[in-house]
Amino acid sequence: MAKWLFDRHGSPRLILDDDCVRDASGHVVGWVDSNGLFSIKGRHVGWAEGGVLYDIRNRALGFTDGASGYLPYRPGTSGTPGMPGFSGCPGRPGLSGMCGRPGFGGWSDSSLDGYFRSA
């Protein structure tokens, strides 16, 4: 089931759709595998745990409503827009290995919706 991912300000920015991360238009921008977060090209870019996405420095990028993972603080969330139509998922690339995970930090300096564009 697809769920909106909220940024540090509580605004819906991305969509978590099973093992796909989608932008607000429904296009796949990344992958989740186990607790790893990967770019569209398969490069390890962070972690996903308990409904929270973390950047490569293990700082929170965004969260789903009802997330149980670590957050530095939980902002109030604004209303969620309707779900866009989804195209099929592209072929999943081979995924790179994951680096060691550092301890939790605060909120990421990267924006949730911009993170995958630069990954």
The domain locations on the chain are 3-118
Distance separating alpha carbons of residues 106 and 20, to the nearest angstrom: 24
| Higher pLDDT pick, 48 / 87 | 48
pLDDT of residue 9: 95
pLDDT in tens, 63-87: 999 899 999 999 998 788 888 888 7
Is the distance from CB of 12 to CB of 4 less than 8 angstroms?
yes
Portion of the chain with pLDDT greater than 70, in percent: 100
Q: What is the pTM of this model?
A: 0.89
pLDDT of residue 40: 92
pLDDT > 90? residue 2: yes
